[in-house]
């Protein structure tokens, strides 16, 4: 089998996710193909390096507490807004009641007059 | 941290949920490699964490949320090339940055975060075959860019 046909299988094999048939194809192929045998080794090494690589440069890691502080500030603001919500609802209801009462009073006075 | 600034803030434990704390550095690292800028990455990470606090879930839910947020930034054109990496894995990080965002995302989630292929298919909303193909192509490209093949 040509190398380009086993590319995905080789990647699966390196990740230990190839099925039985895929494993057999790869094992047969790498016995005959030195280049794919080397690639298999490199793929395994690459996976190992990717697992260990530090994604954050030192400068950014050092700023992480500041970023977390910002998150806590956002959470706090949201929590305060959530707590304020029932009070706001009560205030809106009271304003509406006052409006209705004042209209009713005006109408009552107009009819009375 | 914030409690000392604001007096009695008993509900701060919400923001300090162990899940969010544990995942913060991982999401930040992922976002930094995806967006290329520390401030943008922190903003995206905080958005992911806010979503996680609002609707807690397992690791997979968390990564789904991270991918949605990062995609949102990418769709809006936020993509900065990070500073030239230094240190032991500089060549690898440079090669990673040259991958297409979707490829980089899949490679990082698979190998750095350890998501399985079915999990990746869920997170990326695609099928296993596509994920396996992208992984194979991206790893091939990484090996070429690092020059590993020539080195041997």
CA distance A67 to A10: 41
Q: Which residue of A has its CA nearest to B50?
A: A75
Give the residue from A33, A44, A75, A79 with the most B CB atoms within 10 Å of its CB, the best one to mutate.
A75
Residues of A in contact with B25 (CB under 8 A): 56, 61, 64
Q: Return the closest-CA partner of residue A69 out of B31, B34, B24.
A: B24
Judged by average pLDDT, the poorest of A60-64, A106-110, B3-7, B69-73 is B3-7
More confident residue, B15 or B5: B15
The whole-angstrom distance between A94's CA and the closest CA on chain B is 29
The whole-angstrom distance between B32's CA and the closest CA on chain A is 7
* The predicted structure's pLDDT at residue B59: 84
ipTM exceeding 0.90?
A: no
Put simply, the answer to whether B42 touches A43 (Cβ < 8 Å) is no
Q: What is the pTM of this model?
A: 0.78
Closest to A76 (Cβ–Cβ): which among B12, B24, B111?
B12
Which residues contact residue A81 at a Cβ distance below 8 angstroms, ignoring those fewer than 6 apart? Answer: none
Tell me the three-class secondary structure of chain B, residue by residue.
CCHHHHCCCHHHHCCCCHHHHHHHHHHHHHHHHHHCCHHHHHHHHHHHHHHHHHCCCCHHHHHHHHHHHHHHHHHCCCCCCCCCCCCCCHHHHHHHHHCCHHHHHHHHHHHHCCCCHHHHHHHCCCCHHHHHHHHHHHHHHHHHHHCHHHHC
């Amino acid at each position: 089998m040509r190398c380009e046909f086993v590319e995905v299988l080789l990647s699966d094999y390196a990740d230990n996710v190839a099925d039985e048939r895929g494993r057999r194809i790869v094992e047969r192929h790498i016995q005959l193909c030195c280049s794919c045998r080397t690639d298999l080794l490199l793929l395994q090494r690459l996976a190992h390096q990717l697992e260990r690589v530090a994604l954050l440069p030192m400068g950014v890691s050092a700023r992480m507490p500041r970023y977390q502080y910002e998150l806590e500030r956002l959470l706090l603001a949201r929590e305060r807004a959530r707590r304020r919500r029932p009070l706001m609802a009560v205030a809106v209801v009271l304003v509406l009641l006052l409006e209705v009462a004042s209209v009713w009073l005006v109408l009552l006075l107009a009819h009375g007059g | 941290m914030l409690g000392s600034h604001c007096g009695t803030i008993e509900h701060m434990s919400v923001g300090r949920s162990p899940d969010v704390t544990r995942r913060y550095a991982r999401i930040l690292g992922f976002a930094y490699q995806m967006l290329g800028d520390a401030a943008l990455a922190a903003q995206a990470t905080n958005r992911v964490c806010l979503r996680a606090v609002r609707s807690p879930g397992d690791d997979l839910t968390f990564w789904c949320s991270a991918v949605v947020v990062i995609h949102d930034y990418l769709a809006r054109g936020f993509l900065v090339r990070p500073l030239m990496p230094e240190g032991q894995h500089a060549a690898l990080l440079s090669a990673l940055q040259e991958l297409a965002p979707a490829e980089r995302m899949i490679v990082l989630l698979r190998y750095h975060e350890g998501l399985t292929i079915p999990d990746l298919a869920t997170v990326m909303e695609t099928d296993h075959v596509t994920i396996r193909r992208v992984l194979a192509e991206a790893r091939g490209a990484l090996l070429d860019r690092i020059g590993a093949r020539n080195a041997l």
